[in-house]
């Protein structure tokens, strides 16, 4: 009986992770590299607005296509070019404000810390890192959570699991305390994606983990 329960739990997690990879992986970002971590920071800022994931992802791809994917390149691009890239990606609702925000963040990051890696290295713990990130104009708790949740196991951090992920985990009877590091990052991201794509839209019949779900729709 115990063996069967373990197999069911393993299958549940395996199905979840097979269907919902990290957002950074979707975007082709290597978070193991410092340059990749800044790219993910840029993507997280785009995902942090009240805009569709598809538009945010397309807009990040536009930045990548034009090679505007570092603090120095953002500053060099200038406001007009940033607005053009944002518009090309479909980020028209927040193009002006986001261009201003990106320039401010890139400039402050360079001036105050020199790099994103220095910001991390100068943080005493996860809470201090979160505080430092939220000192940037336009970066709040949502963007900070998006950015840090996929960096467990890359950086030595332990951000709180989002309420969205906890809610979906409860429906699937998943104990998040069983996971840590990169595995927790992958499980949390998968749960967030599942919640957005299936739970929120009540698409139970199409859900890849419907057989494990206790939610009544």
Each residue's pLDDT tens digit, 121-154: 999 999 999 999 999 999 999 999 999 999 999 9
pLDDT at 10 over 80: no
Confidence band for 214, pLDDT divided at 50, 70 and 90: low
Confidence band for 2, pLDDT divided at 50, 70 and 90: very low
pLDDT at 40 over 80: yes
Picking from 81, 74, 76, the residue whose alpha carbon sits closest to that of residue 45 is 74
Beta-bridge partner residues of 155: 152
Domains, the chain, in order of start with CATH, read: 2-22+161-212 (no CATH), 29-148 (1.10.340.30)
Distances (CA, A) of 21 to 93, 183, 186, 189, 191: 28, 11, 7, 7, 10
Length of the chain: 217
Confidence band for 216, pLDDT divided at 50, 70 and 90: very low
Contact residues for 213 (Cβ-Cβ < 8 A; gap 6+): 171, 172, 204, 207
- Predicted local confidence at residue 1, as pLDDT: 43
- Whole-model pTM: value is 0.91
């Amino acid at each position: 009986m115990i063996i069967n329960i373990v197999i069911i739990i393993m299958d549940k997690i395996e199905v979840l992770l097979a269907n919902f990879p990290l957002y950074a992986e979707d975007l082709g970002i290597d978070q193991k590299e410092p340059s990749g971590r800044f790219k993910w920071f840029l993507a997280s800022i785009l995902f942090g607005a009240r805009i569709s994931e598809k538009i945010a992802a397309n807009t990040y791809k536009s930045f990548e296509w034009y090679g505007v994917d570092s603090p120095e390149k953002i500053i060099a691009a200038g406001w007009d070019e940033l607005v053009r890239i944002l518009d090309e990606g479909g980020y028209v609702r927040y193009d002006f404000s986001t261009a201003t925000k990106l320039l401010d963040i890139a400039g402050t990051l360079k001036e105050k810390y020199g790099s994103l890696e220095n910001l991390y290295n100068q943080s005493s713990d996860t809470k201090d890192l979160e505080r430092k990130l939220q000192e940037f104009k336009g970066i709040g708790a949502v963007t900070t959570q998006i950015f840090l949740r996929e960096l467990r196991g890359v950086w030595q951090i332990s951000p709180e699991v989002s309420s969205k992920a906890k809610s979906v985990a409860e429906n699937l009877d998943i104990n998040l305390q069983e996971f840590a590091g990169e595995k927790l990052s992958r499980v949390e991201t998968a749960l967030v994606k599942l919640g957005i794509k299936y739970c929120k839209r009540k698409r139970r019949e199409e859900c890849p983990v419907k057989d494990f779900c206790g939610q009544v729709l």
